A and B are shown apart, each in its own frame.
Chain A
Amino acid sequence: MNLGRRKLLLLVLLVIAVVLPPQLGIYYVRFATQIAIYGMAALSVDLLLGYTGLITFGQAAVFGVGAYAAGMLIVSGVTNAFIAWPLAILVSMLASLAIGALSLRTRGFQFIMVTLAFAQMLYYFAQSLRNWGGDDGFSTQRRNDLGFLSLENHETFYYVVLILLVLVCWLTSRLVRSEFGMVILGIRDNERRAAAIGFSPYPYKLVIFVIAGGIAGLAGALMANHAKFVNPSVLSWQLSGEFLAMVILGSANSLIGPILGAAFFLTFRDMLSDYTEHWMLFFGPLLVARVLLMRNGIWGTLMRATGGSETLREPKVEFPATGKPVAEAKPEVGA
């Protein structure tokens, strides 16, 4: 175990995150804020993809619910973050409870499709909210505040987001190593076996789905504050896909990797989109190259480059031909 090295690397990354953006100027403070927010959302996707083996194409839906909730609260006069953000998290968790309760009864491709369908439903619902700008969305004019501390200053807001991100990292790293964490990893590894030793997979999957939803909701609320603007694109399936890309780039099953993935993704997009609007044309092959060449993503490669020998438990997600639960799948007849 290279726990010391891992901690050192995390510390270096944290110092960079704290010191670097203000040195580069306000544009980069805002850019770093965006990275931290997307990183938090990508981390929530990693909890599902990397730790539970669930490929969700609807995480932007819960992210967007958080963004809309926070935005609507600000406009309605609820400016205190200590009230607004927990409320946004709660609403997102309720949304993911509803989505999860239904979608987790399916698996594989069906699960992807059902989560996508829910996300699209919410997307069109947001478009139909005439009072909230419909397709154009609405401006919040201002950010939440922490009681006496205003968050209008971009640096102040950045540090608040960073603190929340570190907090989420710490809490989830405890979570995935806990007894509950072992159960979801076990379900990811071999759901049939998990059931055979006595774990009903469904409630455990639902709980992690709701936890991930709360984290994505917080990220969404922060996004509404960051941009002071909310429109239906925060619920789009493209954004869900981008979260997945961030996780895969960064290293699934590492929590920290998705944040690095978000940093890489956004930097790459930012640079390339200066030159061409077809930046995806270059990004696509890069994603393929990551899967083919870098076995463990950015975080795994960083760990090894610095001499660590940590092997990540990247998931091998299987796609059953049918979406039937394993318990009802027919085994071969006879012995």
Chain B
Amino acid sequence: MSEFLLEIEGLRKSFGALMATKNVTLNVRVGETHALIGPNGAGKTTLVSQLTGELTPDAGRIRFAGRDITGLTTAQRARLGLARSFQITSIFPSFSAEGNVALAVQATEPHSFRFWHPAEQIQRLREPARKLLADVGLALLAQRTAAAMSHGQHRQLEIAMALATRPSMLLLDEPMAGLGTEESRAMAALLGGIKGRHTILLVEHDMDVVFQLADRISVLVGGRVVASGTPAEIRNHSEVRIAYLGEDEDEFAGALDAQG
């Protein structure tokens, strides 16, 4: 296996006349935290959807752990170890927090055509679920119905669910989206704890978090990768600064200066 866990090569995707992904080539090394940033409408979510298999690219290839996964379904990719969290909260609302994570643990088993034993009593699923909930700081809410939890708790729950599938790579689509200051801090700490243990592709708008966590950063503008490099390289990259000017100037430039 090469040093890259995820290799994206010449990926293209159009919606009618709009080319949302323009020949994207991007590699994520084993063990690194790779951030994907870019202004609104840059095509980040479209790219992530192609990585997870929810969208089919028009051209190009995606290799994961040395294997071409371009033609695989979402579920097949998940089973290979590619887990994701969603930009918009995506959980099982009628399940308890523990039930949500237990179902994700269950998903790692070869199949779930077992019709007899009550799932709630299967410790093989419940124990890891409780442990993961504790890891993300939801131990006390294990029995709470997910629908009754706050937005911030949902985001933590999503991370626990992604981790429960024992992934070799995490695709985190804006894990900080919509979080308050305190919740953001907790989430950043949580991500900091995960970093290094898993390969991560982090799509995020919060530049503080990106520059704090990322080993490498790729910048997507208008469906193209305009730059890829270490945080220091990206900070000083002229094209990146230009791309962001007029769009998120304050946010990005502010973050760059604060870091630099």
B112 x A196 contact (CB < 8 A): no
Across the interface, name the chain B residue whose C-beta is closest to A181: B119
Residue A330 lies at the interface, judged by CB distance under 8 Å to chain B: yes
A197 x B107 contact (CB < 8 A): yes
Across the interface, name the chain A residue whose C-beta is closest to B105: A197
Residues from chain B with a CB closer than 8 A to the CB of A332 are 45
B46 x A334 contact (CB < 8 A): yes
Residues from chain B with a CB closer than 8 A to the CB of A329 are 54
Which range holds the interface residue count of chain A?
35 or more
Query: In the bound complex, how far is the Cα of B211 from the Cα of A148, in angstroms?
Result: 81
- With A178-B118, A198-B107, A335-B203 as contacts: A185 and B75 at CB distance below 8 Å: no
B90 x A175 contact (CB < 8 A): no
Across the interface, name the chain A residue whose C-beta is closest to B101: A197
Residues from chain B with a CB closer than 8 A to the CB of A330 are 15, 55
Query: In the bound complex, how far is the Cα of B53 from the Cα of A303, in angstroms?
Result: 44
Residues from chain B with a CB closer than 8 A to the CB of A190 are 90-93
Residue B120 lies at the interface, judged by CB distance under 8 Å to chain A: yes
A303-335 vs B, CB cutoff 8 Å, 1 = contact: the mask equals 000000000010000000000001111111111
Binding site for A on B (CB under 8 A): 15, 18, 20, 38-46, 49, 52-56, 73-76, 78-79, 83-84, 86-87, 90-95, 99, 102-104, 106-108, 112-120, 122, 125, 161, 164-165, 174, 203, 205
Considering only residues 176-235 of chain A, those with a C-beta below 8 Å from chain B are 177-183, 185-186, 189-190, 192-201, 204, 207
30 contacts between A and B (CB under 8 A): A174-B115, A174-B116, A174-B118, A178-B118, A179-B119, A180-B113, A182-B103, A183-B112, A185-B94, A189-B93, A192-B54, A193-B91, A195-B73, A196-B90, A197-B165, A198-B165, A200-B75, A313-B94, A327-B53, A327-B74, A328-B54, A331-B45, A331-B49, A331-B54, A333-B20, A334-B45, A335-B44, A335-B174, A335-B203, A335-B205
* Shortest Cβ gap from A36 to chain B (Å): 24
* Shortest Cβ gap from B159 to chain A (Å): 13
* Shortest Cβ gap from B39 to chain A (Å): 8
Residues from chain A with a CB closer than 8 A to the CB of B113 are 180, 207
Residues from chain B with a CB closer than 8 A to the CB of A334 are 20, 40-46
Across the interface, name the chain B residue whose C-beta is closest to A192: B90
B54 x A327 contact (CB < 8 A): yes
User: Can you name 11 extra interface pairs (CB under 8 A) apart from A180-B113, A199-B75, A200-B76?
Assistant: A177-B118, A186-B95, A196-B90, A197-B83, A197-B107, A201-B75, A331-B46, A331-B54, A334-B46, A335-B40, A335-B42
Query: In the bound complex, how far is the Cα of B103 from the Cα of A175, in angstroms?
Result: 16
* Shortest Cβ gap from B195 to chain A (Å): 21
B112 x A199 contact (CB < 8 A): yes
Residues from chain B with a CB closer than 8 A to the CB of A326 are 54
Q: State which of B38, B103, B114 has its C-beta within 8 Å of the C-beta of A197.
A: B103
- With A190-B93, A196-B90 as contacts: A327 and B42 at CB distance below 8 Å: no
Query: In the bound complex, how far is the Cα of B78 from the Cα of A326, in angstroms?
Result: 16
A333 x B15 contact (CB < 8 A): yes
Across the interface, name the chain A residue whose C-beta is closest to B44: A335
A198 x B108 contact (CB < 8 A): yes
A333 x B46 contact (CB < 8 A): yes
Across the interface, name the chain B residue whose C-beta is closest to A180: B115
B84 x A196 contact (CB < 8 A): yes
Query: In the bound complex, how far is the Cα of B53 from the Cα of A327, in angstroms?
Result: 7
Across the interface, name the chain B residue whose C-beta is closest to A312: B94
* Shortest Cβ gap from A192 to chain B (Å): 6
Across the interface, name the chain A residue whose C-beta is closest to B79: A198
* Shortest Cβ gap from A231 to chain B (Å): 35
B79 x A327 contact (CB < 8 A): no
* Shortest Cβ gap from B146 to chain A (Å): 9
